[in-house]
């Protein structure tokens, strides 16, 4: 079914073991972002800063995460998957330690930036490993399976973060992140195989050329645009909605529990991709996902404009959106990696960089808007998802097989 290269004595015993291993390594980064989100209002109060300043602890790490994604891919193409992942996880652990001991908002931002910089390794290289082993069609299904495992972990992150922040203070989330990073590093050191055939003649010039060729490919732009829609909508929601709920008299723990609906929607979307009779028709999957996402975004804005501000009406449309995103992301990622199969790391890294930068810029753009009501956030989400659907309708998307 698949073939390993390199350290054969380290290979997982089955494809399922590989999925679980890669999901654990990949989840470290998203968990770091999601577990902290409910604690942002408490950190803001502790340091006595504005919403915009507190939001920098979310947007700045997103930029660092994007930079890490951009460089880890080419580095793993050159040096191999294992050493780059191990280095990234080590950087991650250093960042969580600094964030825990931060005494100013600037020190916290630096700690979060270092954490995010290290976390990018797992996300990028997990995709590259799958690109080493599978065709685009097979990779789409495997990515969906990997994400389902990962989402189970991520779904509990905001709940855990909210409960920890209320019970032990906002710094406690970094204790958990340090522990998770340490376990991931140990597991990767022991079990992660090398799937990249190391070619001493492969130089960074070739990798840079492959990256440039991707940037010149219209299909890459189309796929990157759809990922940018997904991530900008998601991170604006994650960064600002805790402040909105605080204004509405809701607790950080309550935000975490309602966030489960988003994870559930995304999980179901991934599951449908792995079971759908249309799973071999990647274009149909992408079409369906983009439409569902746009419908969810518009429903969220409609509810906000009608004054339906109970968390149910805020999160239910987002669960619909997340269901659609469960279709979009595995399909888009598999197609991007298929554009440069000889440089899967570079392709994965470039896509990750573009989507995270879009998310970071969107958060910074929206950080100064009012969080007294959910209307500004839902208006932004509805706008970008509708534009994503319109762009898809106007451009002719081609998918790999």
Structure tokens at 18: 């590989």
* Residues 379-385, mean pLDDT to the nearest whole number: 95
Contact 400, 136 (CB under 8 A): yes
**pLDDT tier at 1, thresholds 50, 70, 90:** very low
**pLDDT tier at 249, thresholds 50, 70, 90:** confident
pLDDT exceeds 70 at position 50? yes
Query: Worst-scoring range by mean pLDDT, 79-93, 181-195, 374-388?
Result: 181-195
Instruction: Please indicate whether residue 6 or residue 227 has the higher confidence score (pLDDT).
Output: 227
pLDDT exceeds 70 at position 121? yes
Per the domain annotation, does 75 fall within a domain? yes
3-state SS string over the chain?
CCCCCCCHHHCCCCHHHHHHHHHHHHHHHHHHHHHHHHHHHHHHHHHCCCHHHHHHHHHHHHHHHHHHHHHHHHHHHHHCHHHHHHHHHHHHHHHHHHHHCCCCHHHHHHHHHHHHHHHHHHHHHHHHHHHHHCCHHHHHHHHHHHHHHHHHHHHHHHHHHHHHHHHHCCCHHHHHHHHHHHHHHHHHHHHCCCCCCCCCCCCHHHHHHHHHHHHCCHHHHHHHHHHHHHHHHHHHHHHHHHHHHHHCCCCHHHHHHHHHHHHHHHHHHHHHHHHCCCCCCHHHHHHHHHHHHHHHHHHHHHHHHCCCCCHHHHHHHHHHHHHHHHHHHHHHHHHHHHHCHHHHHHHHHHHHHHHHHHHHHHHHHHCCCCCCCCHHHHHHHHHHHHHHHHHHHHCCCCCCC
Instruction: Please indicate whether residue 199 or residue 260 has the higher confidence score (pLDDT).
Output: 260
Contact 301, 379 (CB under 8 A): yes
Residue 94: φ, ψ to 5°: -60, -45
Tell me the C-alpha distance between 68 and 329, whole Å. Answer: 19
Structure tokens at 223: 């796929």
Q: What is the pLDDT of residue 155?
A: 66
Q: How many CB atoms lie within 10 A of CB 218?
A: 11
**pLDDT tier at 10, thresholds 50, 70, 90:** very low
Query: Worst-scoring range by mean pLDDT, 83-87, 89-93, 110-114, 340-344?
Result: 340-344
The CATH number for 176's domain is: 1.20.1250.20
pLDDT exceeds 70 at position 5? no
Contact 335, 217 (CB under 8 A): no
Per the domain annotation, does 401 fall within a domain? no
Per the domain annotation, does 2 fall within a domain? no
Q: Which of 184, 190, 157, 193 is nearest to 92 (CA)?
A: 184
Instruction: Please indicate whether residue 138 or residue 376 has the higher confidence score (pLDDT).
Output: 376
Q: How many CB atoms lie within 10 A of CB 202?
A: 16
For residue 149, what are the domain limits? 8-193+200-394
Per the domain annotation, does 249 fall within a domain? yes
Query: Worst-scoring range by mean pLDDT, 86-95, 234-243, 327-336, 383-392?
Result: 327-336
* Residues 104-125, mean pLDDT to the nearest whole number: 90
With the C-alpha atoms ordered 242, 244, 247, 249, is the resulting torsion angle positive or negative? negative
Tell me the C-alpha distance between 259 and 242, whole Å. Answer: 10
CA dihedral 108→126→222→383, nearest 10 degrees, is: -40
Contact 285, 327 (CB under 8 A): yes
Per the domain annotation, does 400 fall within a domain? no
Beta-carbon contacts of residue 130 (< 8 Å; ≥ 6 apart): 22, 139, 142, 143, 146, 337
Distances (CA, A) of 376 to 107, 199, 371, 383: 30, 51, 7, 11
Per the domain annotation, does 188 fall within a domain? yes
pLDDT exceeds 60 at position 149? yes
Q: Which of 169, 179, 140, 196 is nearest to 31 (CA)?
A: 179
Q: What is the mean pLDDT of the chain?
A: 81
Per the domain annotation, does 3 fall within a domain? no
Tell me the C-alpha distance between 210 and 217, whole Å. Answer: 11
**pLDDT tier at 201, thresholds 50, 70, 90:** low
Q: How many CB atoms lie within 10 A of CB 326?
A: 27
pLDDT digits (tens, 9 = 90+) for 311-363: 999 999 999 999 998 888 878 877 777 777 667 667 777 787 887 788 878 88
pLDDT digits (tens, 9 = 90+) for 286-322: 888 999 999 999 999 999 999 999 999 999 999 999 9
If one counts the domains in the chain, the total is: 1
Per the domain annotation, does 37 fall within a domain? yes
């Amino acid at each position: 079914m698949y073939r390993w290269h390199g350290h054969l004595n380290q290979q997982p015993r089955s494809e399922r073991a590989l999925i679980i291993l890669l999901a654990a390594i990949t989840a470290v980064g998203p968990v770091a972002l999601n577990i902290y989100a409910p604690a942002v209002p408490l950190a803001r109060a502790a340091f006595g800063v504005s919403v915009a300043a507190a939001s920098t602890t979310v947007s700045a790490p997103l930029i660092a995460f994007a930079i890490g994604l951009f460089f880890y891919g080419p580095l793993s193409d050159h040096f191999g998957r294992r050493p780059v992942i191990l280095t990234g996880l080590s950087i991650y652990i250093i960042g969580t330690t600094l964030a825990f001991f931060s005494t100013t908002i600037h020190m916290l931002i630096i700690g979060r930036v270092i954490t995010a910089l290290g976390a990018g390794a797992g996300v990028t290289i997990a995709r590259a490993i799958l690109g080493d082993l599978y065709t685009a069609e097979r990779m789409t299904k495997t990515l969906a399976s990997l994400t389902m495992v990962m989402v189970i972990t991520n779904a509990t992150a905001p709940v855990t973060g909210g409960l920890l922040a209320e019970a032990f203070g906002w710094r406690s989330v970094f204790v958990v992140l340090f522990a998770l990073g340490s376990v991931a590093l140990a597991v990767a050191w022991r079990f992660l195989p090398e799937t990249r055939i190391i070619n001493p003649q492969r130089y960074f010039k070739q990798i840079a050329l492959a990256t440039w060729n991707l940037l010149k490919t219209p299909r890459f732009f189309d796929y990157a645009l759809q990922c940018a829609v997904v991530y900008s909508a998601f991170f604006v929601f994650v960064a600002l909605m805790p402040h909105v709920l605080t204004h509405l008299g809701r607790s950080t723990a309550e935000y975490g529990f309602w966030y489960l609906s988003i994870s559930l929607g995304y999980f179901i979307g991934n599951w449908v991709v792995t079971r759908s009779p249309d799973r071999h028709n990647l274009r149909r999957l992408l079409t369906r996902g983009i439409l569902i996402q746009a419908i969810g975004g518009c429903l969220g804005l409609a509810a906000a404009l009608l004054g339906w501000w109970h968390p149910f009406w805020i999160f239910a449309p987002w669960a619909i959106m997340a269901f659609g995103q469960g279709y979009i992301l595995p399909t888009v990622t598999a197609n991007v990696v298929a554009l440069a199969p000889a440089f899967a790391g570079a392709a994965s890294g470039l896509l990750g960089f573009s989507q995270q930068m879009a998310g970071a810029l969107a958060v910074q753009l929206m950080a100064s808007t009012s969080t007294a009501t959910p209307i500004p956030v839902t208006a932004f989400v509805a706008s970008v998802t509708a534009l994503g659907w319109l762009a898809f309708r106007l451009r002719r998307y081609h998918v790999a097989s």
